Amino acid sequence: MAICTVYTPHSLNTHLGFHQKQQQQQQQHHHFLFYTRKPNNNNNNNRRVVNNSEISCSADADKTVVIGLAADSGCGKSTFMRRLTSVFGGAAEPPKGGNPDSNTLISDTTTVICLDDYHSLDRTGRKEKGVTALDPRANDFDLMYQQVKAIKDGVAVDKPIYNHVTGLLDPPEPIKPPKILVIEGLHPMFDSRVRDLLDFSIYLDISNEVKFAWKIQRDMAERGHSLESIKASIEARKPDFDAYIDPQKQHADAVIEVLPTQLIPDDNEGKVLRVRLIMKEGVKLFNPVYLFDEGSTISWIPCGRKLTCSYPGIKFSYGPDSYFGHEVSVLEMDGQFDRLDELIYVESHLSNISTKFYGEVTQQMLKHADFPGSNNGTGLFQTIIGLKIRDLYEQIVASRAAAPLEAAKA
Partner 1 sequence: MATATVAIVGFCTSRVTIRGESRNTHVLKSPRLNNPWRAINANQFKIGSRMMSVKTKAAPDSISDKVSESIKNAEEVCAGDPVSGECAAAWDEVEEVSAAASDARLKKKEKESDPLENYCKDNPETDECRTYDN
Peptide linkage before 288 cis (omega within 30 of 0): no
Nearer to partner 1, 266 or 370 (CB): 370
Give min distance, CB of 347 to partner 1, in A.
Answer: 19
Give min distance, CB of 51 to partner 1, in A.
Answer: 29
Measured at the CA of 174, the angle between CA 118 and CA 85, to 5 degrees, comes to 80
The CA distance from 245 to 249, in Å, is 8
Give min distance, CB of 156 to partner 1, in A.
Answer: 15
Query: Which member of 120, 367, 395, 408 binds partner 1 (CB under 8 A)?
Result: 367
Q: Which of residues 73-102 bind partner 1 (CB under 8 A)?
A: 73-74, 82, 86, 90-91, 96-98, 100
Burial class (CB in 10 A: 0-12, 13-18, 19+), 353: middle
Nearer to partner 1, 207 or 233 (CB): 233
Q: Is 195 in the site for partner 1 (CB under 8 A)?
A: no
**Total number of residues that touch partner 1 (CB under 8 A):** 41
Strand partners of residue 65 = 180
Nearer to partner 1, 82 or 195 (CB): 82
DSSP states of 168-200: SEEEEEEE---SEEEEEES-TTTSHHHHTT-SE
The CA distance from 334 to 258, in Å, is 10
Nearer to partner 1, 236 or 402 (CB): 236
DSSP states of 291-342: ESSTTS-EEE---SSS----TT-EEEEEEEEEETTEEEEEEEEEEB--SHHH
Give min distance, CB of 131 to partner 1, in A.
Answer: 6
SS3 405: helix
Give min distance, CB of 342 to partner 1, in A.
Answer: 21
Query: Which member of 8, 22, 40, 123 binds partner 1 (CB under 8 A)?
Result: 123
Contact code string over 324-363 relative to partner 1, x by CB under 8 A? ----------------------------------------
Contact code string over 146-175 relative to partner 1, x by CB under 8 A? ------------------xx-x--------
Using CA atoms of 332, 336, 340, 346 in order, give the dihedral in degrees to the nearest 10: -20
Give min distance, CB of 95 to partner 1, in A.
Answer: 9
Q: Is 176 in the site for partner 1 (CB under 8 A)?
A: no
Query: Which member of 132, 146, 207, 395 binds partner 1 (CB under 8 A)?
Result: 132
The CA distance from 175 to 156, in Å, is 6
- Judged by CB under 8 A, which stretch of 252-260, 268-276, 338-346, 367-375 contacts partner 1? 367-375
The count of other CB atoms within 10 Å of the CB of residue 131 is 16
Q: Is 182 in the site for partner 1 (CB under 8 A)?
A: no
Q: Is 126 in the site for partner 1 (CB under 8 A)?
A: yes
What 8-state DSSP symbol labels residue 87? Answer: H
Q: Is 134 in the site for partner 1 (CB under 8 A)?
A: yes
Nearer to partner 1, 15 or 164 (CB): 164
Nearer to partner 1, 99 or 262 (CB): 99
**CA proximity to 103, closest of 182, 22, 194, 204:** 182
Burial 46-65 (b: 16+ CB within 10 A, else e): bbebbeebbbbbbbbbbbbb
Contact code string over 235-264 relative to partner 1, x by CB under 8 A? xxx-xx------------------------
Alpha helices in 220-314 (DSSP H): 227-240
Binding site for partner 1 (CB under 8 A): 21, 73-74, 82, 86, 90-91, 96-98, 100, 123, 126-127, 129-134, 164-165, 167, 215, 218-219, 222-225, 229, 232-233, 235-237, 239-240, 367-368, 370
